[in-house]
Structures are given as C-alpha cells and as structure tokens.
C-alpha cells in the first residue's frame, strides 16, 4: 500500500494518506489573537480544507484529539465543535486541558483522522 503526503517539510506532513485513511497533523488557528471561539472556528476551517485536499470530509471523521490551553475553554470550544460536526457522525474524541501549545497565545489545537 502506498503512502501519500500533503505539504511535507523536514519536520512534518500536514496530511498523510495510507490506504483509505487520512491523518492530519495538529491544526491551529492562523490568528492566535482571538478568543477560544474564533480560534476553534479557524482550526475547524483548516481541518475542512485539509480533509478536502485529501479527498474526504468531516462526515467521515474517525478520531479527534483536542488540546486546550485551559479547560476553562472546554464549554465555549464545544459550542463551536458541536455546530461543526456532521449529525450522527461524531468521531471518537479525546480532549486534554492544561497543554502548552506552540504559542503562548494559542488556545486550541486539534488533530483528526478520517476515512476516505
């Protein structure tokens, strides 16, 4: 079986496709000046774009891992998440809080896998 990589550099690939499964690296907001809702929206938009490039979409999510700087942001992040997920197609999900992210201003990072 072949392995296809999208936007690969020395450190990581934005997406890896193996067989009928797509794995995304952690997605973060481009603008980390916003609140948790704005950052979550941006992260989910990035996920949508990367899944589309890999030939799939959020209705085929398998797993998701959500990293939050603070668990205080759990409820507002979930408001955006719940509106975004496809009805009846929520992935197996883990959420971790108190995580040091790539930037002190970053509030959320999400990584997913999906079927093709």
pLDDT in tens, 44-85: 999 999 999 999 999 999 999 999 999 999 999 999 999 999
Average pLDDT over residues 12-23: 97
Prediction pTM value:
0.95
Give the residue among 83, 96, 103, 18 at the shortest CA–CA distance from 56. 18
* CB 70 within 8 Å of CB 61: no
pLDDT confidence tier of residue 33, bands split at 50, 70 and 90? very high
pLDDT confidence tier of residue 113, bands split at 50, 70 and 90? very high
The CATH number of 27-111 is 3.30.1330.40
Domain boundaries, the chain: 27-111
Average pLDDT over residues 82-105: 95
Give the residue among 57, 78, 55 at the shortest CA–CA distance from 68. 78
């Amino acid at each position: 079986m072949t392995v296809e990589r999208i936007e690969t550099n020395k450190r990581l690939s934005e997406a890896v496709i193996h067989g009928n499964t797509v794995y995304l690296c952690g997605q973060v907001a481009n603008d980390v000046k916003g609140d948790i809702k704005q950052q979550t929206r941006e992260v989910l938009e990035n996920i949508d774009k990367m899944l589309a490039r890999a030939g799939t979409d959020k209705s085929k999510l398998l797993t998701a891992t959500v990293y939050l700087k603070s668990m205080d942001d759990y409820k507002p992040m979930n408001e955006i998440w719940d509106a975004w997920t496809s009805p009846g197609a929520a992935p197996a999900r883990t959420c971790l809080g108190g995580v040091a992210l790539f930037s002190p201003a970053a509030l959320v990072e999400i990584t997913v896998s999906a079927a093709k």
